[in-house]
Amino acid sequence: MLSITGLTIACAAIYYSTHGCLADTQIVGGTNAPDGMYPYQVSLKDASNGRHFCGGAIVSKKYIITAAHCLAGRRYPSDIQIGVGSNNLQSQIIYTADALIIHDNYNKTQYPNDIGLIKLSKDITFNKTITSTAIISDNKNFEGVRLQVSGWGRLWAGGPVPVRLQHVTVRGYSQKSCAAIYAPDITDGHICTLESRGKGVCNGDSGGALTYGDKLVGIVSFGVPCAEGYPDVFTRVYYYRDWVNKYINAANN
């Protein structure tokens, strides 16, 4: 059985057979995403130095969805900046956080319920390069289905963080087979992907979006670094739609 390590800036969301602590996850084997593609994708930055440490996705003018482990350990909302509006990390518009919301049942040991929200200090102004994504409306079986994952994670284990957003096509993987590899940590709240060796997520992609068309399917949670032929595991956002919508709807009322 593989052991688990969380995806944070200090310990990437990855399984690691020796409980090793790695840096954050990234896209391996991807290409530069064209300008304007993934207008909902955001970069979470350390406010003290402006460095990217996790991804996220815009789900309303007021809220960003990300992985809980990206927020755990951050003492104050002011610790995080949110970069939007450009696939170039150096050209983003910066928003600040008003509140960090971690799922009540998140467990940093085994990573169930690895989902969180950032409430922004002010509403995002939408335009052609900044908009929200919607959570997929059904609990589709994605086994064998092509999906897109994007992020600014490292280009290989220990490699550089790209300035340009990377994206790669991956395929949904059998839930049963994924559970056999990562038992007992796979639940109905997860979705797994597996592409050919050399394509997948790694350190720095945590919290980033897995999409089907323009719909949000998952957010990067954990896996074995980096694209070494093991499944990548995402939080299945549909499973948490009521929890997410509770906050979005309250902000709209």
Predicted local distance difference test score (pLDDT) of residue 174: 97
The reported pLDDT for the residue numbered 12 is 36
Catalytic machinery residues: 69, 114, 206
On whether residue 191 sits in a domain, the answer given is yes
Q: Which domain holds residue 209?
A: 134-238
For residue 169, the surrounding DSSP H or E stretch is strand 166-171
**Residue 39 φ then ψ, to 5°:** -70, -10
**Cβ-count burial of 187 within 10 angstroms (0-12 exposed, 13-18 middle, 19+ buried)?**
middle
* pLDDT (0 to 100) of residue 154: 72
> What pLDDT is recorded for position 232?
93
The predicted-structure confidence for 94-104, as pLDDT tens digits, reads as follows: 999 999 999 99
Collapsing DSSP states into helix, strand and coil, what is residue 19?
Answer: coil
- Flag whether 23 is in a domain: no
Which residues, in sequence order, are CB contacts of 49 under 8 Å at separation 6+?
Answer: none
Task: Tokens for 227, please give them.
Answer: 């694209």
Q: Is residue 17 part of a domain?
A: no
Name the band, by pLDDT with cuts 50, 70 and 90, for residue 156: low
Q: What is the spatial distance between Cα 77 and Cα 23, in angstroms, rounded to a whole number?
A: 22
Q: pLDDT at residue 18 above 50?
A: no
Task: Give yes or no: residues 97 and 164 share one domain.
Answer: no
User: Do 166 and 86 fall into the same domain?
Assistant: no
Assign residue 55 the CATH number of its domain. 2.40.10.10
Q: Is 120 exposed, middle or buried (0-12, 13-18, 19+ CB in 10 A)?
A: buried
pLDDT tens column, 157-185: 666 778 999 999 999 999 999 999 998 88
Q: Does residue 27 lie within any of the structural domains?
A: no
Do 189 and 172 share a structural domain?
A: yes
> Structure tokens of 31?
């290409």
